[in-house]
Chain A
Amino acid sequence: MRRLPFIALVLLFALPFVYFGVAAFADQWRFPALWPPGWTLQHWAALGGGQWGQSAGLSLSLALLTGGIATALGFWTAHGLSQSKHARRWLLWAYFPYAFSPVIYAHGLKFFFNSAQLAGQFPGVLLGQLILCYPFAVLFFFSHFDQRLREMEALSYTLGAGPRAVWWRVLLPVSRPALLLCFFQIFLISWFDYGLSSVIGLGQVRTLTVAVYQYIMEANAGLAAVSACLLCLPPLVLLWVNQGFLQKKVEI
């Protein structure tokens, strides 16, 4: 009986994934049937088509670039803020993009993206995601640069380290777990983003999330389930790769 809440929680999390798995192999599964009448690989056969690879490649490139650029810029900016007398005042700007929902924010920016001919383009979607993820990284790292890390940096200078050595030999290695964690989180934000990608991408930048939505609109549950399975794959791989460090407390 004591295990019941735990089992309920596992089921709650696992159920959507189980559903995607079943639906991706189901043949002619229609309401009100509770279980598919048969199985097929035909949805997966569609993976051989060029569109899938293109969508997966687009999503992966976007997530890797957004994660890498936002993490690097956020770390650098938060370090600068931590040295500033008016850090809190500057930090307020980082909250600004979160005053609206991402979709409304994207609609607000659409005019500028159209004017700059970035709407419907990969660089436009990348820029749109960076506008949201860069402040996230700044907020993430601002608390990382606490008094202890600032004192460690100052001590390194007095030991004879120049600014470059302080970055490469102290700040970056000491912050490795935090950098990985931030990259991982931004990767997921970008990977699963639909609203901003579809508004700024105008449906022409066909990431996996955009593809899933299009299949759902076409009532093609099988292809939507295959896309959803593909969507889950990289985060699961990342989770598996990073499980050791995610279980560790991020500390310096």
Chain B
Amino acid sequence: MLQINNINKAFGTTRVLQNISLELPKGETLAVLGRSGCGKTTLLKIIAGLLPADAGEILQNDQRQNELPPQRRNAVYLYQEALLFPHLNVWENIAFGLRLRKTPENELKNRVEALLVHLGLQAEARRMPQALSGGQKQRVAFGRAIIIEPQVLLLDEPFGALDPETRSQMQDFYQKTAEQLQLSAVFVTHDLKEALRMGTRWAYLDQGQLQTYPTREAFVRDPKTGIEQEIEFWKNV
């Protein structure tokens, strides 16, 4: 379980995050909705260990993470862009984390092959990243992250650069995989529909303050999220 207690972060005189606290049990996805520049990326980077917090505490399974470097946190950060390693083919991109952990070759091969089947990318295993479509790249990036069984996935608008159809396919894919593998994830987005679809828990980040909601209904009803306005708009079209 991921637990965050009173995280604060400022850049110069600008306070980006103020007393952020949240809990994320295993197998849940916390969808964090927020406008651009509200501090979503900063929050994820602090959890990943890519930025230090000014104050507050990050715990994973009751173990304090603040002093650990990113490579020892087992929290994988996924960007909007797939950022596949251009010198490695699909197979080697997925195997990257296992090779770092010196996984025995037989086990590594079996796990990569099984994941390629799950991702529907067996035919692309030997292709280089430049030869893949946007959706395929994101699936490889996703596979590269989940093969190391991270404690938590940190998803920074991961489908934001995809066209609407591919985005919808990737959302379906994520939902199925998260359920099947019991993934824990913090999924930040500025897209209302995506937040509702991807989350099993919801939060709204505005001007550095995080509001968490006990239920989906509470999230929808809060006027700050703008969901009711959106529903009204579509009713009146």
Contacts and interface: CB of A to CB of B under 8 A. Distances in A.
Interface residues of B, number: 28
Contact of B50 (A158, A169, A173): A158
Contacts of B145: 159
A174 interface: yes
A50 B128 CA distance: 51
A161 interface: yes
A174 B88 CA distance: 9
Interface string A28-62: 00000000000000000000000000000000000
A161 B79 CA distance: 17
B50 A157 contact: yes
Interface string B35-64: 000000000010011100000000000000
A160 interface: yes
A162 interface: yes
Majority secondary structure, A binding face: helix
B86 A252 contact: yes
Interface string A130-161: 00000000000000000010011011011111
Interface residues of A, number: 19
A174 B86 contact: yes
Interface of A: 148, 151-152, 154-155, 157-162, 165, 169-170, 173-174, 176, 251-252
30 contacts: A148-B83, A151-B81, A151-B83, A152-B85, A154-B45, A154-B50, A154-B70, A154-B77, A155-B79, A155-B83, A157-B49, A157-B69, A157-B71, A158-B73, A158-B75, A158-B77, A158-B154, A159-B71, A159-B76, A159-B96, A160-B71, A160-B97, A160-B101, A160-B148, A161-B100, A162-B69, A165-B100, A169-B99, A251-B86, A252-B86
Interface of B: 45, 48-50, 69-71, 73-79, 81, 83, 85-87, 96-97, 99-101, 144-145, 148, 154
